Amino acid sequence: MEKLTARSTVEGGRPIDRAVEREVGLPPEIADGRSPSGSREYERLLPPEAFSNEGPVRDDFERLRPGIDPREKRERSATVRARVSGSCAGWRERPTSREFYAAVRAAEPDDRQKRLLAMWATETHWRELMQAWAEEAYTLRELVAALHRAGLARCRCAGVLNRWAAHPGRREA
């Protein structure tokens, strides 16, 4: 992964908001998208109940997604659309942001939905995880529950998501 610099941008050419990075307080290795140990062994996601089911408020959307049309939310999430377009370009039938929105909410995800969730859990940068939340594509609890249902309890984004657990003491029995 390329090293982020003061001039780095996220997809769409928007500059990275370093103030948000400092506010969130992520360790540099997590902010850069690396596993803390440098190994391929990922953390296990906490259970969904450990996460808030609250969506963003207007201030969250405006702070995390400046310049984004408010209509590009939920199943029309600009962040999800950009990630799916880039990461699923080689798929025979490219998924849509609406498909991702449905996959997060599927009680029993099918194979295609599982692959879509696996792509999200593997290729999404922490900023995109939070931007999609700000765009109301999911709540953190919905995303974590979907990843568990898809068999992705250990995934690249688990370490980042676990840091945003509302109730970290609620661990699996």
Q: Answer yes or no: are the C-beta atoms of 144 and 51 closer than 8 Å.
A: yes
Q: Cβ-count burial of 115 within 10 angstroms (0-12 exposed, 13-18 middle, 19+ buried)?
A: middle
Alpha carbon distance 52, 96 (integer Å): 26
> In the chain, what percentage of residues exceed pLDDT 70?
71
Of 71 and 173, more confident: 71
Q: Answer yes or no: are the C-beta atoms of 51 and 140 closer than 8 Å.
A: yes
Q: Answer yes or no: are the C-beta atoms of 139 and 52 closer than 8 Å.
A: yes
Domain locations along the chain: 39-163
Q: What are phi and psi of 110, to 5 degrees?
A: -80, 180
What would the pLDDT profile of 103-131 be if each residue is shown by its tens digit? 999 999 999 999 999 999 999 999 899 98
Q: Answer yes or no: are the C-beta atoms of 155 and 33 closer than 8 Å.
A: no
Predicted structure pTM score: 0.73
Alpha carbon distance 70, 62 (integer Å): 9
The lowest-confidence range among 55-59, 66-70, 89-93, 164-168 is: 66-70
In the three-class reduction of DSSP (H, G, I as helix; E, B as strand; rest coil), residue 118 is classed as: helix
